[in-house]
C-alpha cells in the first residue's frame, strides 16, 4: 500500500498541479488526503489535484514522488483508473505531458497534432483513442519505455482522418515525414516513423518487426475490451463514418471484421496476446454474427 505523487506539471490558476493517487484503494487515498488537509473538491474520480506549494509537505507526510508515467502505471495496475474515454475534461494536459517526454520544445507541432485529433467529426478516432494507444504502449513495454519512433508513430497514425481507408494512413505518413523533418529528427527516424504509420492500414507487420508489432498491438487493443466497451467502440466507429449509408457501412465494416479475424496472429507480442486475444476474438465474432 502506498500513496504516489507525480511532479507538478499541470498549469492552472497561476500555478502547477500534481496528481495524488493510491495503488490500493480510494479509502486509503481519502484518508491520506484528509489527514493532509486536502479539500474534497480537489478529488477528481481517481486522484486528487494538489498545487505545487503542497508537493514537499505531501512527500514529507509519506507520499512517494514518481514520474507522471510511473504514476499512471501504478493507477492502472490498481484497477482504480477511470479510462480516458469516460472523462469529460480536456485531455490536452495529459497528452502534452506525454509529448514533452519525446519532443520537448516542439509546442507548435504538438498543438497542430492536438487540433487534428480534436476535429469535431472524430468520435472514435480522436484524443481518447490516441491516449489509449499511448497507454497500451506503456503496458506492453513496462518496465521499459516504448521506443521513441513507435511513440511518434502513435501520435501520427491517425493525424489525418477523413474516413478513407489507406488514403488516411498514407497522408498521415506523409505528414509525419514533413513535420518531423522540419523538427530536425534524424532522417532514419523520420523514415521509421512513416513506415510504422503506414503499417496501421492493414496491421500486418513482418515477423521480427518489433516496432511494427508493438504499434499494431496497441492500436488494436480496443478489440479486447469488455463487451460494453466494445459496443461503445463500434458505435463510435459508426459515427466516424456517418457520411456512409447504412448498407455500405455494414458491408465495409463486415469486411474489416473478417480481415481482423483472418490475422494470424491478431496480436504479435506475448503480453498483448495474454491481455486481449481471447476477448478480441469473442468480440469480433459476436459483431460479425
Same domain, 146 and 243: yes
What is the predicted pLDDT for the residue at 156?
A: 98
Evaluate if residue 204 carries a pLDDT over 90: yes
Angle 210-219/187-199 helices, nearest 10 degrees? 50
Q: What is the pLDDT of residues 29-55, one digit of tens each?
A: 999 999 999 987 777 778 888 999 999
The CB-side HSE value for 184 (13 A sphere, CA atoms) comes to 4
Same domain, 115 and 76: no
Q: Give which of 66, 71, 89 is closest to 81, Cα–Cα.
A: 71
Same domain, 249 and 268: yes
Q: Which of 35, 55, 82 is the last residue of a domain?
A: 82
- Per 3-state DSSP, the chain is made up of helix, strand and coil in percentages (nearest 5) of 60, 5, 30
Q: Which of 82, 111, 126 is the last residue of a domain?
A: 82
Q: What is the number of domains present in the chain?
A: 2
Same domain, 53 and 8: yes
The percent of residues in the chain predicted with pLDDT above 90, rounded, is: 64
Q: In this structure, are residues 171 and 161 in contact, taking their beta carbons and an 8 Å threshold?
A: no
Same domain, 108 and 248: yes
What is the predicted pLDDT for the residue at 92?
A: 80
Evaluate if residue 64 carries a pLDDT over 90: yes
**Mean per-residue pLDDT for 232-252?**
88
Calculate the CA dihedral of residues 220, 223, 224, 226 and round it to 10 degrees: 150
Same domain, 132 and 164: yes
- The C-alpha atoms of residue 148 and residue 2 are separated, in whole angstroms, by 30
Q: Which of 82, 113, 134 is the last residue of a domain?
A: 82
Same domain, 29 and 12: yes
Same domain, 45 and 154: no
CATH number of the domain enclosing 97: 1.10.1300.10
Same domain, 143 and 35: no
What is the predicted pLDDT for the residue at 289?
A: 87
Same domain, 30 and 146: no
Same domain, 185 and 201: yes
**Mean per-residue pLDDT for 251-262?**
94
What is the predicted pLDDT for the residue at 69?
A: 86
Q: What is the pLDDT of residues 102-124, one digit of tens each?
A: 999 999 999 999 999 988 888 88
Same domain, 147 and 220: yes
What would the grid cell of residue 232 be? 461503445
Evaluate if residue 211 carries a pLDDT over 50: yes
- Residues spanned by the domain of 67: 3-82
* Per-residue pLDDT band at 179 (split at 50, 70, 90): very high
Amino acid at each position: 500500500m502506498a500513496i504516489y505523487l507525480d511532479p507538478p506539471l499541470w498549469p492552472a490558476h497561476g500555478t502547477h498541479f500534481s496528481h495524488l493517487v493510491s495503488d490500493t484503494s480510494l479509502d486509503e487515498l481519502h484518508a491520506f488526503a484528509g489527514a493532509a488537509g486536502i479539500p474534497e473538491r480537489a478529488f477528481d474520480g481517481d486522484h486528487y489535484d494538489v498545487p505545487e506549494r503542497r508537493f514537499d509537505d505531501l512527500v514529507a507526510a509519506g507520499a512517494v514522488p514518481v514520474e507522471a508515467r510511473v504514476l499512471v502505471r501504478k493507477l492502472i495496475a490498481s484497477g482504480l483508473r477511470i479510462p480516458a474515454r469516460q472523462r469529460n475534461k480536456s485531455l490536452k494536459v495529459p497528452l502534452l505531458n506525454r509529448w514533452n517526454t519525446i519532443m520537448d520544445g516542439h509546442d507548435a507541432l504538438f498543438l497542430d497534432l492536438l487540433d487534428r485529433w480534436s476535429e469535431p467529426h472524430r468520435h472514435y478516432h480522436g484524443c481518447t483513442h490516441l491516449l489509449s494507444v499511448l497507454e497500451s504502449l506503456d503496458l506492453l513495454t513496462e518496465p521499459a519505455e516504448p521506443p521513441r519512433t513507435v511513440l511518434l508513430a502513435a501520435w501520427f497514425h491517425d493525424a489525418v482522418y477523413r474516413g478513407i481507408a489507406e488514403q488516411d494512413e498514407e497522408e498521415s505518413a506523409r505528414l509525419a515525414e514533413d513535420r518531423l523533418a522540419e523538427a530536425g529528427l534524424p532522417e532514419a527516424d523520420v523514415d521509421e516513423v512513416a513506415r510504422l504509420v503506414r503499417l496501421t492500414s492493414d496491421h500486418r507487420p513482418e515477423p521480427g518487426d518489433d516496432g511494427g508489432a508493438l504499434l499494431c498491438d496497441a492500436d488494436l487493443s480496443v478489440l479486447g475490451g469488455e463487451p460494453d466497451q466494445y459496443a461503445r467502440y463500434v458505435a463510435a466507429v459508426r459515427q466516424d463514418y456517418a457520411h456512409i449509408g447504412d448498407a455500405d457501412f455494414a458491408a465495409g465494416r463486415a469486411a474489416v471484421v473478417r480481415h481482423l479475424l483472418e490475422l494470424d496472429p491478431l496480436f504479435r507480442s506475448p503480453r498483448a496476446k495474454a491481455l486481449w486475444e481471447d476477448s478480441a476474438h469473442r468480440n469480433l465474432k459476436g459483431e460479425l454474427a
